[in-house]
Amino acid sequence: MVEKAKKKFAVSETALSGMKEITAFVGRSEATVLDWVRKYGFPAKKISGQWESDRSLIEEWRVNQIKNHPKEDKKSVMNGL
């Protein structure tokens, strides 16, 4: 009897598996990452109970956040001091 080999996903070198890897990569807490997922479309998803993401998707998201972030005027920045 020939056993069928279990197929595994080909994991890319940029894959992040688990919230611990994701938070280490972005340098933020789990609470912050979850907030970003809910509010800003941060590219992470819970799949079968495991958080998954990808370094290249996070970098793309980061660049888009920077590009689309409204510019702060000098007056509002100075008022915060």
Q: What's the CATH code of the domain at 58?
A: 1.10.1660
pLDDT tens series, the chain, 81 aa: 555 555 566 667 899 999 999 999 999 999 999 999 999 999 999 999 999 999 999 999 999 999 988 876 656 545 555
Which H or E run includes 5?
none
Q: Is residue 59 part of a domain?
A: yes
Q: Read off the pTM.
A: 0.72
Encode 38-81 in three state secondary structure. Answer: HHHCCCEEEECCEEEEEHHHHHHHHHHHHHHCCCCCHHHHHHCC
Q: What residues form DSSP beta bridges with 47?
A: 50
Residues 6+ positions from 7 with CB-CB distance below 8 Å: none
Structural domain tally of the chain?
1
- Report d(CA 27, CA 74) in Å as an integer: 28
Q: Is residue 64 part of a domain?
A: yes
Q: Is residue 31 part of a domain?
A: yes
pLDDT in tens, 31-49: 999 999 999 999 999 999 9
